[in-house]
Amino acid sequence: MSGCHSKWENSPEHEKSCGRCANCANGHVHAHDQNTERNKHPGSESRSSVSSDGNEIPAARNRFYFESKNIVAINLLGASGAGKTSLLENTITALSGEICFSVIETDRHSNYDTKRIEETEARVISLRTGDGCQLFSQMINDALKILKPENNSVLFIENLAAPLCPTLHDVGEQKRVVILSVTEGEEKPLVYPEMYKTADLCLISKSDLLPYVDIDLEYLKANIRKVNNDLRCIILSCRLNEGMNEWYDWIRAISKMKKK
Ligand SMILES: Nc1nc2c(ncn2[C@@H]2O[C@H](COP(=O)(O)OP(=O)(O)O)[C@@H](O)[C@H]2O)c(=O)[nH]1
Ligand SMILES: [Mg+2]
Protein backbone atom coordinates (compact mmCIF):
# COMPACT_ATOMS: atom_id res chain seq x y z
CA MET A 1 0.00 0.00 0.00
CA SER A 2 1.10 3.56 -0.59
CA GLY A 3 -0.44 6.99 -0.09
CA CYS A 4 -3.58 8.05 -1.97
CA HIS A 5 -3.39 8.54 -5.69
CA SER A 6 -5.49 11.67 -5.73
CA LYS A 7 -6.33 14.37 -3.23
CA TRP A 8 -9.83 13.86 -1.96
CA GLU A 9 -10.58 17.60 -2.03
CA ASN A 10 -9.98 17.67 -5.78
CA SER A 11 -11.96 14.61 -6.64
CA PRO A 12 -15.52 14.46 -7.96
CA GLU A 13 -16.33 12.03 -5.12
CA HIS A 14 -15.46 14.71 -2.60
CA GLU A 15 -17.86 17.10 -4.32
CA LYS A 16 -20.60 14.52 -4.07
CA SER A 17 -19.94 13.69 -0.43
CA CYS A 18 -19.36 17.16 0.90
CA GLY A 19 -22.06 18.64 -1.24
CA ARG A 20 -25.00 16.78 0.11
CA CYS A 21 -26.79 13.78 1.49
CA ALA A 22 -28.74 12.16 -1.32
CA ASN A 23 -32.00 13.32 0.20
CA CYS A 24 -31.36 16.30 2.41
CA ALA A 25 -28.61 18.43 0.83
CA ASN A 26 -26.93 18.66 4.20
CA GLY A 27 -23.54 17.06 3.46
CA HIS A 28 -23.96 13.72 5.22
CA VAL A 29 -25.55 10.31 4.99
CA HIS A 30 -28.49 9.71 7.30
CA ALA A 31 -29.20 6.48 9.10
CA HIS A 32 -32.66 5.81 7.74
CA ASP A 33 -34.74 3.15 9.33
CA GLN A 34 -37.94 2.36 7.54
CA ASN A 35 -39.49 1.38 10.82
CA THR A 36 -39.05 4.76 12.52
CA GLU A 37 -40.86 7.77 11.22
CA ARG A 38 -38.62 10.20 13.06
CA ASN A 39 -35.60 9.31 10.95
CA LYS A 40 -37.35 9.88 7.67
CA HIS A 41 -36.45 12.67 5.32
CA PRO A 42 -38.14 13.66 2.10
CA GLY A 43 -37.45 11.10 -0.59
CA SER A 44 -35.98 8.54 1.77
CA GLU A 45 -38.85 6.11 1.64
CA SER A 46 -37.22 3.88 -0.95
CA ARG A 47 -33.95 3.54 1.00
CA SER A 48 -33.09 0.19 2.48
CA SER A 49 -34.02 -0.75 6.01
CA VAL A 50 -31.35 -0.91 8.70
CA SER A 51 -33.25 -3.12 11.12
CA SER A 52 -31.06 -5.43 13.21
CA ASP A 53 -32.42 -8.68 11.78
CA GLY A 54 -31.30 -7.51 8.32
CA ASN A 55 -27.75 -6.77 9.43
CA GLU A 56 -26.00 -9.93 8.26
CA ILE A 57 -26.53 -9.67 4.52
CA PRO A 58 -25.31 -6.06 4.17
CA ALA A 59 -22.35 -6.98 6.46
CA ALA A 60 -21.42 -9.81 4.09
CA ARG A 61 -21.79 -7.44 1.14
CA ASN A 62 -19.48 -4.91 2.81
CA ARG A 63 -16.95 -7.64 3.58
CA PHE A 64 -16.97 -8.77 -0.05
CA TYR A 65 -16.57 -5.13 -1.17
CA PHE A 66 -13.56 -4.64 1.14
CA GLU A 67 -11.93 -7.89 0.08
CA SER A 68 -12.43 -7.31 -3.62
CA LYS A 69 -10.89 -3.82 -3.39
CA ASN A 70 -8.15 -4.84 -0.95
CA ILE A 71 -9.44 -2.38 1.65
CA VAL A 72 -8.73 -3.02 5.34
CA ALA A 73 -11.73 -1.77 7.32
CA ILE A 74 -11.11 -0.98 10.99
CA ASN A 75 -14.02 -0.42 13.33
CA LEU A 76 -12.83 2.00 16.05
CA LEU A 77 -14.89 1.70 19.22
CA GLY A 78 -14.79 3.67 22.42
CA ALA A 79 -16.59 6.07 24.71
CA SER A 80 -17.22 9.62 23.66
CA GLY A 81 -14.09 11.62 24.51
CA ALA A 82 -11.76 8.58 24.60
CA GLY A 83 -9.64 10.18 21.89
CA LYS A 84 -10.85 8.42 18.71
CA THR A 85 -10.86 11.42 16.39
CA SER A 86 -7.53 12.68 17.77
CA LEU A 87 -6.04 9.24 17.12
CA LEU A 88 -7.29 9.29 13.53
CA GLU A 89 -6.02 12.83 12.94
CA ASN A 90 -2.56 11.89 14.20
CA THR A 91 -2.45 8.54 12.39
CA ILE A 92 -3.54 9.89 9.01
CA THR A 93 -1.12 12.81 9.27
CA ALA A 94 1.78 10.53 10.22
CA LEU A 95 1.16 7.73 7.70
CA SER A 96 -0.51 9.41 4.72
CA GLY A 97 2.73 9.17 2.70
CA GLU A 98 2.68 5.38 2.90
CA ILE A 99 -0.98 4.39 3.36
CA CYS A 100 -4.13 5.77 1.76
CA PHE A 101 -6.85 6.36 4.37
CA SER A 102 -10.53 7.09 4.28
CA VAL A 103 -12.89 7.58 7.20
CA ILE A 104 -16.55 7.05 7.99
CA GLU A 105 -17.47 9.31 10.89
CA THR A 106 -20.60 8.57 12.88
CA ASP A 107 -21.72 11.85 14.36
CA ARG A 108 -25.10 11.85 16.02
CA HIS A 109 -26.19 15.42 15.38
CA SER A 110 -23.17 17.37 14.19
CA ASN A 111 -20.36 16.98 11.68
CA TYR A 112 -17.68 18.40 13.96
CA ASP A 113 -15.45 15.28 13.83
CA THR A 114 -15.87 15.05 10.07
CA LYS A 115 -14.54 18.57 9.68
CA ARG A 116 -11.52 17.65 11.81
CA ILE A 117 -10.76 14.68 9.54
CA GLU A 118 -11.28 16.82 6.43
CA GLU A 119 -8.32 18.91 7.61
CA THR A 120 -6.10 15.86 7.10
CA GLU A 121 -7.27 15.71 3.46
CA ALA A 122 -8.36 12.08 3.86
CA ARG A 123 -11.58 10.98 2.20
CA VAL A 124 -14.30 11.29 4.84
CA ILE A 125 -18.03 11.00 5.06
CA SER A 126 -20.34 11.86 7.92
CA LEU A 127 -22.91 9.27 8.86
CA ARG A 128 -25.65 10.83 10.94
CA THR A 129 -27.31 8.42 13.32
CA GLY A 130 -29.67 10.95 14.88
CA ASP A 131 -31.19 9.61 18.08
CA GLY A 132 -29.95 6.07 17.46
CA CYS A 133 -26.68 4.86 18.98
CA GLN A 134 -26.23 1.70 16.94
CA LEU A 135 -24.29 1.32 13.76
CA PHE A 136 -25.76 -1.14 11.27
CA SER A 137 -24.05 -2.63 8.25
CA GLN A 138 -26.57 -1.11 5.84
CA MET A 139 -25.54 2.37 7.00
CA ILE A 140 -21.93 1.55 6.09
CA ASN A 141 -23.15 0.13 2.79
CA ASP A 142 -24.92 3.40 2.00
CA ALA A 143 -21.88 5.47 3.05
CA LEU A 144 -19.49 3.39 0.89
CA LYS A 145 -21.51 4.15 -2.21
CA ILE A 146 -20.71 7.84 -1.78
CA LEU A 147 -17.29 7.61 -0.13
CA LYS A 148 -15.85 5.13 -2.67
CA PRO A 149 -12.60 4.39 -0.80
CA GLU A 150 -9.58 3.81 -3.02
CA ASN A 151 -8.35 0.29 -3.75
CA ASN A 152 -5.50 -0.88 -1.49
CA SER A 153 -6.44 1.51 1.31
CA VAL A 154 -7.34 1.52 5.00
CA LEU A 155 -10.85 2.57 6.01
CA PHE A 156 -11.49 3.72 9.57
CA ILE A 157 -15.03 3.62 10.90
CA GLU A 158 -15.24 5.86 13.97
CA ASN A 159 -18.06 4.23 15.89
CA LEU A 160 -20.19 6.32 18.20
CA ALA A 161 -20.70 5.89 21.93
CA ALA A 162 -20.25 2.13 21.59
CA PRO A 163 -20.11 1.34 25.34
CA LEU A 164 -23.76 2.30 25.71
CA CYS A 165 -25.02 0.25 22.78
CA PRO A 166 -26.70 -3.01 23.71
CA THR A 167 -25.36 -4.77 20.61
CA LEU A 168 -22.27 -4.16 18.53
CA HIS A 169 -23.17 -5.18 15.03
CA ASP A 170 -20.76 -6.67 12.56
CA VAL A 171 -20.51 -4.10 9.77
CA GLY A 172 -18.22 -6.26 7.64
CA GLU A 173 -14.99 -4.89 9.12
CA GLN A 174 -11.81 -6.98 9.30
CA LYS A 175 -10.50 -5.48 12.54
CA ARG A 176 -11.98 -4.02 15.70
CA VAL A 177 -9.97 -1.62 17.83
CA VAL A 178 -11.24 -0.48 21.21
CA ILE A 179 -9.88 2.67 22.80
CA LEU A 180 -10.26 3.77 26.40
CA SER A 181 -8.54 6.66 28.08
CA VAL A 182 -6.74 6.52 31.41
CA THR A 183 -9.35 8.92 32.81
CA GLU A 184 -12.19 6.40 32.41
CA GLY A 185 -11.36 4.09 35.33
CA GLU A 186 -10.02 0.55 35.76
CA GLU A 187 -13.42 -1.13 35.95
CA LYS A 188 -14.75 -0.03 32.55
CA PRO A 189 -13.77 -3.25 30.69
CA LEU A 190 -15.94 -5.16 33.19
CA VAL A 191 -18.80 -2.67 32.96
CA TYR A 192 -18.83 -2.60 29.14
CA PRO A 193 -17.32 -5.99 28.20
CA GLU A 194 -18.88 -6.32 24.72
CA MET A 195 -16.35 -4.05 23.04
CA TYR A 196 -13.39 -5.85 24.61
CA LYS A 197 -14.67 -9.36 23.91
CA THR A 198 -14.62 -8.90 20.16
CA ALA A 199 -11.70 -6.47 19.76
CA ASP A 200 -8.41 -7.30 18.02
CA LEU A 201 -6.50 -4.52 19.76
CA CYS A 202 -7.00 -2.27 22.78
CA LEU A 203 -5.53 1.22 22.91
CA ILE A 204 -5.18 2.85 26.33
CA SER A 205 -5.07 6.54 25.48
CA LYS A 206 -3.97 9.81 27.09
CA SER A 207 -0.96 8.30 28.86
CA ASP A 208 0.34 11.85 29.33
CA LEU A 209 -2.38 12.22 32.00
CA LEU A 210 -1.16 9.26 34.07
CA PRO A 211 0.68 11.46 36.61
CA TYR A 212 -2.55 13.34 37.29
CA VAL A 213 -5.15 10.56 37.56
CA ASP A 214 -5.61 7.94 40.20
CA ILE A 215 -5.47 4.82 38.06
CA ASP A 216 -3.70 1.50 38.46
CA LEU A 217 -2.66 0.47 34.97
CA GLU A 218 -1.87 -3.11 35.97
CA TYR A 219 -5.34 -3.50 37.49
CA LEU A 220 -6.88 -2.02 34.34
CA LYS A 221 -4.97 -4.48 32.15
CA ALA A 222 -5.95 -7.36 34.45
CA ASN A 223 -9.61 -6.38 34.00
CA ILE A 224 -9.16 -6.27 30.22
CA ARG A 225 -7.63 -9.76 30.36
CA LYS A 226 -10.57 -11.02 32.44
CA VAL A 227 -12.83 -10.16 29.50
CA ASN A 228 -10.45 -11.11 26.68
CA ASN A 229 -7.29 -12.86 27.77
CA ASP A 230 -5.55 -12.53 24.40
CA LEU A 231 -6.26 -8.88 23.77
CA ARG A 232 -3.10 -6.91 23.06
CA CYS A 233 -2.91 -3.46 24.67
CA ILE A 234 -0.92 -0.43 23.52
CA ILE A 235 -0.57 2.52 25.87
CA LEU A 236 -0.29 5.78 23.97
CA SER A 237 -0.67 9.53 23.97
CA CYS A 238 -1.54 11.64 20.97
CA ARG A 239 -0.49 14.68 22.96
CA LEU A 240 3.07 13.49 23.62
CA ASN A 241 3.34 11.12 20.65
CA GLU A 242 4.10 8.32 23.13
CA GLY A 243 3.41 4.73 22.06
CA MET A 244 2.24 5.92 18.68
CA ASN A 245 4.95 4.03 16.76
CA GLU A 246 3.71 0.73 18.15
CA TRP A 247 0.20 1.59 16.92
CA TYR A 248 1.55 2.72 13.53
CA ASP A 249 3.43 -0.57 13.19
CA TRP A 250 0.19 -2.46 13.87
CA ILE A 251 -1.54 -0.46 11.13
CA ARG A 252 1.37 -1.06 8.75
CA ALA A 253 1.26 -4.80 9.46
CA ILE A 254 -2.47 -5.19 8.85
CA SER A 255 -2.36 -3.03 5.73
CA LYS A 256 0.24 -5.42 4.31
CA MET A 257 -1.70 -8.47 5.44
CA LYS A 258 -3.94 -8.21 2.38
CA LYS A 259 -2.99 -9.44 -1.04
CA LYS A 260 -1.47 -6.90 -3.45
N1 LIG B 1 -4.27 14.94 27.37
C2 LIG B 1 -4.68 14.35 26.25
N3 LIG B 1 -5.85 14.71 25.71
C4 LIG B 1 -6.23 14.09 24.56
C5 LIG B 1 -5.47 13.07 23.95
N6 LIG B 1 -6.13 12.63 22.86
C7 LIG B 1 -7.26 13.36 22.80
N8 LIG B 1 -7.34 14.22 23.82
C9 LIG B 1 -8.40 15.20 24.11
O10 LIG B 1 -9.56 14.49 24.54
C11 LIG B 1 -10.73 15.14 24.07
C12 LIG B 1 -11.60 14.17 23.28
O13 LIG B 1 -10.87 13.76 22.14
P14 LIG B 1 -11.57 13.24 20.81
O15 LIG B 1 -10.50 12.83 19.89
O16 LIG B 1 -12.55 14.25 20.31
O17 LIG B 1 -12.38 11.98 21.37
P18 LIG B 1 -13.56 11.11 20.69
O19 LIG B 1 -14.85 11.67 21.21
O20 LIG B 1 -13.32 9.71 21.19
O21 LIG B 1 -13.41 11.23 19.22
C22 LIG B 1 -10.25 16.34 23.25
O23 LIG B 1 -10.27 17.48 24.05
C24 LIG B 1 -8.83 15.96 22.88
O25 LIG B 1 -8.00 17.09 22.67
C26 LIG B 1 -4.22 12.71 24.55
O27 LIG B 1 -3.47 11.84 24.10
N28 LIG B 1 -3.90 13.37 25.71
MG1 LIG C 1 -14.83 11.66 17.75
Domain boundaries, the chain: 8-177+243-257
Judge whether 31 and 50 are in contact, CB under 8 Å: yes
Atom of ligand 1 nearest to the CA of 86: 15
Which residue's alpha carbon is at the smallest distance from atom 28 of ligand 1? Answer: 206
Residue 42 has pLDDT above 70, yes or no: no
Which residue's alpha carbon is at the smallest distance from atom 8 of ligand 1? Answer: 83
Write the CB contacts of 153 (distance below 8 Å, at least 6 apart in sequence): 1, 4, 69, 70, 71, 72, 99, 100, 101, 102
Ranges of H-type helices in the chain: 12-19, 56-68, 84-95, 112-118, 137-147, 188-191, 193-197, 217-227, 244-257
- Residue 205's nearest CA partner among 177, 181, 170 is 181
What digits encode the pLDDT tens for the residues 57-102? Answer: 999 999 999 999 999 999 999 998 999 999 999 999 999 999 999 9
What digits encode the pLDDT tens for the residues 205-238? Answer: 999 999 999 999 999 999 999 999 999 999 999 9
Judge whether 53 and 162 are in contact, CB under 8 Å: no
Top CATH class, 8-177+243-257: alpha beta
Q: What is the distance in A from the centroid of ligand 1 to the CA of 244?
A: 14
Percent of the chain with pLDDT over 90: 64
Instruction: Tell me the range of 7-11, 37-41, 246-250 where mean pLDDT is highest.
Output: 246-250
Specify the pTM.
0.85
Pocket test for ligand 1, best of 75, 80, 86 (most atoms within 8 A of CB): 86
Which residue's alpha carbon is at the smallest distance from atom 1 of ligand 1? Answer: 206
Atom of ligand 1 nearest to the CA of 209: 1
